Structure 1
Amino acid sequence: MVDDVFLKSAAETAWAVYRARHPEVGARDSRRSLLERHLQRRWKEREGDTEELTGFGIAYLHRLNRDER
């Protein structure tokens, strides 16, 4: 249960930062669910703190954006 709080907080923060940098991305964009699944896998592989997980999420979203070009 505590894990869910950390994951949700990290995902929400990473998504907010990403959307602030990319205002053309909608709130319901499919990248949000990709981000959440990515962070769940990262959390299971290596438990860290919320800030570290948020950083992983932001980096992941930027890679997704770059790969789409």
Structure 2
Amino acid sequence: MDEAVLKNATETAWRVYRARHPDVDAHDSRRCLLARHLHRRWEERESDTEELASFGIAYLHRLPRGEC
């Protein structure tokens, strides 16, 4: 696994999500959920940074706000 691809995808998805949701704290629990989701996704199927980031953004938007 190329850890740089995973790290870059996670950071990109988190930055995009927080830009759209400025009320979300940088250390919000959704960040950890995102990292775990993308790690599992990477293990299932290798992807590039852009594809993983897209999956991450979609995942964050599906999370229920009240449960994070």
**TM-score normalised by structure 2 residue count:** 0.92
- Residue 68 of structure 1 corresponds to which residue in structure 2? 65
- Written as runs of structure 1 = structure 2, the 5 A alignment for 1:23-62 is 23-62=22-61
Work out the CA distance in 2 between the residues paired with 1:3 and 1:60: 21
Structure 1 residues 14-64: Cα deviation after superposition (integer angstroms, max 9, x where no partner): 000000000000000000000000000000000011100000000000001
Gaps of 5+ in 1: none
TM-fit CA distance, 1:3: 1.5
- Residue 21 of structure 2 corresponds to which residue in structure 1? 22
**TM-score normalised by structure 1 residue count:** 0.90
Give the secondary-structure state (helix, strand or coil) at the position aligned to 2:2: helix
Give the secondary-structure state (helix, strand or coil) at the position aligned to 1:24: coil
TM-fit CA distance, 1:68: 3.1
Identity of aligned residues (%): 70
